[in-house]
Structure 1
């Protein structure tokens, strides 16, 4: 079964995009399927 990881914040400019890309890259490097 798939798992969903959500990166959220009520404020803009806090690094959500950068964090999401880094987390997704880490998962992919460990062999997990990722969609960003």
Structure 2
């Protein structure tokens, strides 16, 4: 396993991490809104 980390790989990881973060945030906001409605 090489220790070299290309910029393309970094952008790819960053993209998926932000995608997962957005999905989790949307899910939490959705749950909070449902709980607020009753």
TM-score (norm 1): 0.49
Higher helix fraction (1 or 2): 2
Higher relative contact order at CA 8 Å, sep ≥6: structure 1 or structure 2? 1
Structure-2-length-normalised TM-score: 0.47
